[in-house]
A and B are shown apart, each in its own frame.
Chain A
């Protein structure tokens, strides 16, 4: 199989299986699941999603499944194409802090925790990456761009050359070509061509997922505590791993339960209505959300690529020809994206303003992951515009560790008091 690293120079893959670390990883997931389980008036459809994080069931299923598994990072690896090829995408972005030390044996310390955390797993020989046949890695930031060479020690890696400027006229010039190249690689991997009906099915499946998510989002506007934001992120992030049709069925059940429960009127927001913007908050790194819940306030919206944004957009082709669909897929990943890897933050700012208005938020929390330059550099303008719009905002500069929990609590508490 062709990869983007031709191995002119070799480095033996580093393997450091460590039962202790793996046990801590499992414990982190189980602790969070147990914690979420204890939330008052919690909907009964939710434990299904916990299992995807706490058990190996799905991973075993993937290993015996006769389908290729494509590990992906970020928002940009085109899921439509992976599904159309009959393969399964698994998103490998991780939120575990316990694997970071492992990764630091090879990776420099001064890079973002998400990359380090994710890279710990191949070294440990643990996690979802074990089930993957190939990795699709978009060049969204510097750390992700360079991660490819490290991952190539373990698995074949396909880089996805992401443009950094949103330019509609350029869409066809380069990004559509990149999308087609990706499709070609998939076709090579599977030894068969993707035909228009298969792609159409994949597009429709993902649109159904988006519509379902949108319906849940709307329901949650009026009754945010139907799903705590922790639960919402858990549901969204379980879709990284689950079999998609099964996830959709399950989530339809959840949605119906939400609809029924909303009639009880028990699920109105408590305390302040907050929005989270910024770097992804990924299972099990829910410390900020947990603090907010403990302080009696509610997160009602987010614009994160591992949250709201992940399921919001879909490809909407004008023409259902192969070319038309590919164009729509290409457009869907670039244009509505609010990822800070693009040169301007304007679309992201508009998104935040829109969500803040629609979800009637009292304040915004800017989650700035330590050592992620792009979110950090966008902060200034985002914060300025929010303030101009009379939306209070606080920046939390943090990472995956638990050391600063108390300090964060104090800051959030002060912020909540300030927006009284």
Chain B
């Protein structure tokens, strides 16, 4: 019964353990890496060799999930791909340097798209634990209304744009330091993981509301966004994956949901339109339920949790395929 959900929970536990505590548990040695930082005196980027081991995870690459850099010394990967993209845009390192990581991230996205969200991302997993706790307490779920869902989607797009644009914008030398400094890694400044991951891994939580020479207004504004997104994250207790509906990393992955190697297919005539899938979907998408003309039912916001496949009462109605190979069936 509900086998897929059980398997998924297992994978999520393993991946959270590996991403957040892998270095410690597996005695992986951190690597020395070249790093860049905003230099206060020169007010430009400088290449540094950081001695601080907290910043050097064993795998010097990035994953399309919140494999957060704030997992500190316990963490296994250098960070999530939003961090990576921001860094590329800000520092514009030579292609040769970033190519391996970039290629890996792209391959992982093309293969699995938002499967990362449903199965690997620790932040996503923990937000599911929130609603599991609520279920255990017998409290009822609240859904976003359709207009609110659209609004959240727009917010997500907006955030993604702001994050990527600001990362690129501060790379210009003409931009004043007072703007540059606060906007550096804007993505991390507003990411709930910045608070949640350290809380789990014992890494210090760093929040600066003032910084020499930096615009306090910007710092405080970003902090307000951080508070808002963290509140949204915890509203996942009743709303199910609330943060994931705006998560910029999710927005980027959502472009790969159609055409990824991993795909959900529906036998249109077996589907009774019973709406079990629509009620079960944590992302509140309704493509699986509504689609009656095309067999591919991959909504851009689908996180591949396969709860729909798990609960669909019609045998062989929904199938999850990887490059045409069936993995799961309803």
A residues within 8 Å of B by Cβ? 166, 168-169, 171-172, 196, 313-314, 316-324, 327-328, 331-332, 335-336, 346-347, 350-351, 353-354, 357
Q: Which residues of B contact A (CB under 8 A)?
A: 135, 138-141, 143, 146, 268-276, 278-280, 286, 289-290, 292, 307, 311, 313
> Which residue on chain B has the smallest CB distance to residue A338?
B272
Those 10 A-B pairs whose CB atoms lie nearest each other, nearest first: A323-B140, A336-B274, A318-B280, A336-B272, A335-B275, A354-B269, A316-B276, A335-B274, A331-B275, A321-B138
For A169, A336, A353, A357, the residue with the greatest tally of chain B CB atoms inside 10 Å of its CB is A336
B-chain residues with CB within 8 Å of residue A166 when the two chains form the complex:
273
Cβ of A318 and Cβ of B279 under 8 Å apart? yes
Inter-subunit contact B141/A323 (CB<8 Å)? yes
A125–B269 alpha-carbon span in the complex (Å):
45
Residues of A within 8 A of B275 (CB): 168, 171, 331, 335
User: Closest residue of chain B to A350, judged by CB?
Assistant: B269
Q: Is the CB of B307 within 8 A of A318?
A: yes
B286 contacts A168, C-beta separation under 8 Å: yes
A interface SS class: helix
Partner of B274, one of A196, A313, A323, A354: A313
> Which residues of chain B are within 8 angstroms of A324 by Cβ–Cβ distance?
135, 140-141
Residue numbers in A under 8 Å from B273 (CB-CB): 166, 335-336, 347, 350
Interface centre among A323, A327, A335, A353 (most CB of B within 10 A): A335
- Nearest CB to that of A211 among chain B residues? B313
Residue of A nearest to B136 (CB): A321
Smallest CB gap from A214: residue in B: B315
Across the interface, name the chain A residue whose C-beta is closest to B289. Answer: A168
Task: Output the nearest chain A residue to B317 by Cβ-Cβ distance.
Answer: A354
Residues of chain A within 8 A (CB-CB) of B140 are: 321-324
B272 touches A319 (CB 8 A): no
Q: Are A313 and B313 in contact, CB atoms less than 8 angstroms apart?
A: yes
Residue of B nearest to A352 (CB): B269
CB pair B279 A313 closer than 8 Å: no
Complex Cα distance, B268 from A166, in Å, reads: 18
CB neighbours of A331 from chain B (8 A): 274-276, 279
Please measure, in the bound complex, the distance between the C-alpha atom of A365 and the C-alpha atom of B256, giving whole angstroms. Answer: 47
What is the chain A residue whose CB lies nearest that of B312? Answer: A316
How far, in Å, is B85 (CB) from chain A's closest CB? 34
| A314 interface neighbour in B143, B271, B286, B313, Cβ under 8 Å | B313
